[in-house]
Amino acid sequence: MSRIDRRFAACRAEGRAALVTFVTAGDPDADTSLAILKALPRAGADLIEIGMPFTDPMADGPAIQLSSQRALKGGQTLKKTLDMVRALRAGEADTPVILMGYYNPIYIYGVERFLKDAREAGVDGLIVVDLPPEEDDELCVPALKAGLSFIRLATPTTDDARLPAVLANTSGFVYYVSITGITGSATPDFGAVAQSVARIKAHTNLPVVVGFGVKTGEHAAAIARGADGVVVGSALVEAVRASLDGEGRATAGTLAAVEALVGELAAGVRSAAKATAA
Amino acid sequence: MTVQPLNSYRSGPDERGHFGMFGGRFVAETLMPVILEVEKAYAAAKDDPAFQAEMDGYLAHYVGRPSPLYYAERLTERLREGAGGKGAKIYLKREELNHTGSHKVNNVLGQILLARRMGKKRIIAETGAGQHGVATATLCARFGLECVIYMGAVDVERQKPNVFRMQMLGATVVPVQSGSRTLKDAMNEALRDWVTNVATTYYCIGTVAGPHPYPGMVRDFQAVIGKETREQILAAEGRLPDSLVACIGGGSNAMGLFYPFLDDKDVEIYGVEAAGHGLASGQHAASLTGGRPGVLHGNRTYLLMDDDGQIAEAHSISAGLDYPGIGPEHAFLHETGRVTYISATDKEALEAFMLLSKLEGIIPALEPAHALAKVVELAPQKPQDHIMVVNLSGRGDKDVPQVADILGGQF
């Protein structure tokens, strides 16, 4: 059983959905970023997604675009991101870590070398936005062979005919994109999302996690009623941005701002569990 | 399925969109279904005589095809001066005479007719120099379609005349403020729009790049340039040309001219990338010369990037060439050695811009001025019976304010 499987099983045992938090590696600087990562589990995050910054994040809205730019400006590289996972792993044995990003930096790092280094650093899974099932030979199949989960995005445009192809090599969990759109944009229609989650669950036993457009504890609670997990990213990197000083540097309030929002989201996820139980 | 001879350079892409190791479909899942839909629709249209007939009608009566193949007598003579009895005979393929002023309209016409067949009512496009944006806005006006054009904020400034044209044609022009605020960022933003409005929207990509089926489809629509050139040169000279020269940003005008000649082994083919301030300066847009294979905007191709795989900002005087990538078929033709890729600097392009204006009374766009700059170098090395065809892919009206500014009114 992988770390990801164990964590979803534990949340299920508590009768609630998992909270998956996304932050960008190296945002706003390496030290603060590592401090944020270390704080996430104790603030209530069940799984950690770490964004690998890229110059051209085509599926991301302004919040994550800006966080990537801050990280790159601070000198973040894929190697430094892997080092950061290793540093996090040293004190955090159980929380699954998933790297999320775009293919080019991995391709340039070298697929085999990347998979080996990621596994050794303590990475559990990968989400690579611009690798659909049609390109599985590139990274998905080698990642599965290397013992890493490859988590696929399913979207509102993924119909029943296509869903089996999307699920075929997916492992760990399925990430359902709640809207047709970029990260951090529209607020999803929660009723429609619940129906879609049910539709995907009819095709797979994997946990189904929902992301894109989830900003508050209330949103998280609404999603958590039907899904196995909720992903929040843009709202967290936006909290980072809002805490910076005039020169874009971290302040005493940066870590606290992220912790406070994660706490609110964790409470939202847990309140949904109570609502279901009641 | 048609079996292509193994020794053909014209057999790509394969069913997964690959030209050798290049190409592919590197897009977000949200877009995969629509990309498969475009692929299916194009495959059906390609085999439908009614679609081809519709295309041909508009190409003749709306675009104004065929475009002339013109013998540039004074340019030829000038380049023979001091060449020791050498100097190629230079022909210009006059794509700048098309409606909207460039080759871009050939592709846009095909894609807009396809979008109509698919029932899409809203069209989006990226543009660099604005030529593709203008062509898209034009055909959207003609067919009553909603049109949104993404253009880097830097390019909005340096290509003002085209911004006004697009607006007059009824398009919404969105200045893109993210990243380097040029063509690559316009493409990112167009992809973000498409992900958001995928049900109603068709993305009309302006060059032979992007996810499969775009590179091959755009090439097919542009191949009219090479097909006509073939017929015209046979009529004028009774034989095929000895060489072809075209500029390359994404590379659609070049693919259009080159493709019908790829298997004619005796035809030398030159693609000219933008060398900006010079290859050594690091400020250029020559992806093949200065880049390496990577993945961006839906395809694997040569890209300018750093050691971490972060995409570099390109530089060129020409907004249309100011892109850190190149179409995947060019990457393939580069690796196989079928096409020779060279580059021209901003300065060389400016000189060629002025040269053609004064000698032939044709003001070229800054993009084909790069091709002309290399003709100035290549032609004097060739014998006088060497026939060289240059793709004059666009006219320079849009560049007049920028060039006047750079030259300070001293022409």
- B218-263 residue pLDDT tens: 999 999 999 999 999 999 999 999 999 999 999 999 999 999 999 9
Contacts of A57 in chain B (CB under 8 A): 188
Q: How far apart are CA B241 and CA B270, in angstroms?
A: 13
- Nearest residue of chain A to residue B195 (CA atoms): A181
Which residue did the predictor score with more confidence, A276 or B101? B101
Put simply, the chain B residues between 342 and 401 with a CB less than 8 A from any chain A CB are: none
Instruction: Work out the pLDDT band at B411, boundaries 50, 70, 90.
Output: confident
Contacts of B178 in chain A (CB under 8 A): 62, 65
Domain count, chain A: 1
Contacts of A72 in chain B (CB under 8 A): 310
Residue A38 has pLDDT above 70, yes or no: yes
Nearest CB to A105: which of B192, B297, B309?
A: B309
Can you tell me the mean pLDDT for B28-34? Answer: 95
B382-404, pLDDT tens digit by residue? 999 999 999 999 999 999 999 99
Please give the order of strands across the beta sheet that includes B201-203.
B172-176, B146-152, B122-127, B201-203
Tell me the residue range of the domain where A265 lies: 3-277
Binary contact (A155, B29; C-beta < 8 A): yes
The strand pair at B22-26 and B18-19 is best described as antiparallel
Instruction: Work out the pLDDT band at A278, boundaries 50, 70, 90.
Output: very low
Considering only CA atoms, which of A37, A6, A7, A161 is closest in space to residue A99?
A37
Place of tokens 């811009």: B353
Considering only CA atoms, which of B188, B18, B196, B251 is closest in space to residue A130?
B188
Contacts of B30 in chain A (CB under 8 A): 59, 153, 155-157, 177, 180
Tell me how close the Cα of A9 comes to any Cα of chain B, in angstroms: 27
- Asked if A181 reaches chain B (Cβ–Cβ under 8 Å), the answer is yes
- Asked if B314 reaches chain A (Cβ–Cβ under 8 Å), the answer is no
Q: How far apart are CA B291 and CA B164, in angstroms?
A: 34
Q: How far apart are CA B47 and CA A187, in angstroms?
A: 43
Instruction: Check B89, B93, B104, B382 and give the catalytic one.
Output: B104
Nearest CB to B191: which of A58, A103, A105?
A: A58
Binary contact (B26, A106; C-beta < 8 A): no
Residues whose CB is less than 8 angstroms from the CB of residue B97 and which lie 6 or more positions away in sequence, other chains included: B64, B67, B68, B395
Beta strand extents in chain A (DSSP E only)? 18-24, 47-51, 97-101, 125-128, 149-150, 153-154, 174-177, 208-211, 229-232
Instruction: Classify A71 as helix, strand or coil.
Output: helix
- How many residues comprise chain A? 278
- Compute how many other C-beta atoms are within 10 angstroms of the C-beta atom of residue B177: 12
Q: Which two tokens stand for residue B194?
A: 């498409």
- Asked if A177 reaches chain B (Cβ–Cβ under 8 Å), the answer is yes
Residue B364 has pLDDT above 90, yes or no: yes
Can you tell me the mean pLDDT for B323-344? Answer: 97
Contacts of B194 in chain A (CB under 8 A): none
A47-90, pLDDT tens digit by residue? 999 999 999 999 999 999 999 999 999 999 999 999 999 999 99
Percent of chain A at pLDDT > 70 equals 98
- Asked if B184 reaches chain A (Cβ–Cβ under 8 Å), the answer is yes
Nearest CB to A134: which of B32, B184, B297?
A: B32
Catalytic amino acids of A?
A: 49, 60
Instruction: Work out the pLDDT band at B275, boundaries 50, 70, 90.
Output: very high
Contacts of A162 in chain B (CB under 8 A): 32-33
Q: How far apart are CA A73 and CA A75, in angstroms?
A: 5
* B11 is an active site residue: no
Q: Which two tokens stand for residue B289?
A: 């010369």
Percent of chain B at pLDDT > 90 equals 93
Largest CA distance in chain B: 63
Residue A40 has pLDDT above 70, yes or no: yes
ipTM of the complex: 0.95
Binary contact (B309, A65; C-beta < 8 A): no
Query: Which is it for the CA torsion B35, B41, B45, B51, positive or negative?
Result: negative
Interface test with B, best of A56, A77, A107 (most B CBs within 10 A): A56
User: Quick check: B205 and B218 in contact, CB under 8 A?
Assistant: yes
Considering only CA atoms, which of A3, A5, A1 is closest in space to residue A207?
A5
- The predicted structure's pLDDT at residue B406: 94
Instruction: Classify B325 as helix, strand or coil.
Output: strand
- Asked if A55 reaches chain B (Cβ–Cβ under 8 Å), the answer is yes
Binary contact (B307, A108; C-beta < 8 A): yes
Residues whose CB is less than 8 angstroms from the CB of residue A50 and which lie 6 or more positions away in sequence, other chains included: A22, A23, A24, A25, A37, A81, A84, A85, A97, A98, A99, A100
- Nearest residue of chain A to residue B300 (CA atoms): A104
Nearest CB to B305: which of A108, A162, A181?
A: A108
How many CA atoms, within 13 angstroms, populate the side-chain half-sphere of residue B293?
17
Considering only CA atoms, which of A105, A87, A107, A106 is closest in space to residue A97?
A87
Contacts of B307 in chain A (CB under 8 A): 108
- Asked if A108 reaches chain B (Cβ–Cβ under 8 Å), the answer is yes
Q: Backbone dihedral region of B219: left (phi > 0), alpha (psi from -120 to 50 degrees) or beta?
A: alpha
CATH code of the domain covering residue A33: 3.20.20.70
Can you tell me the mean pLDDT for B122-128? Answer: 96
Asked if the bond preceding B13 is cis, omega within 30° of 0, the reply is yes
- Asked if A87 reaches chain B (Cβ–Cβ under 8 Å), the answer is no
Can you tell me the mean pLDDT for B25-33? Answer: 96
Q: What is the full DSSP assignment across B264-283?
A: -TTSEEEEEEEEET-GGGT-
B300-322, pLDDT tens digit by residue? 999 999 999 999 999 999 988 99
Nearest CB to B28: which of A56, A130, A133?
A: A130
- Asked if A70 reaches chain B (Cβ–Cβ under 8 Å), the answer is no
Largest CA distance in chain A: 52
User: Quick check: A228 and A173 in contact, CB under 8 A?
Assistant: yes
Tell me how close the Cα of A267 comes to any Cα of chain B, in angstroms: 30
Rounded to 5°, angle at Cα A92 from A87 and A97: 80
Residue A274 has pLDDT above 70, yes or no: no
Helices (H), B239-324: 252-258, 287-290
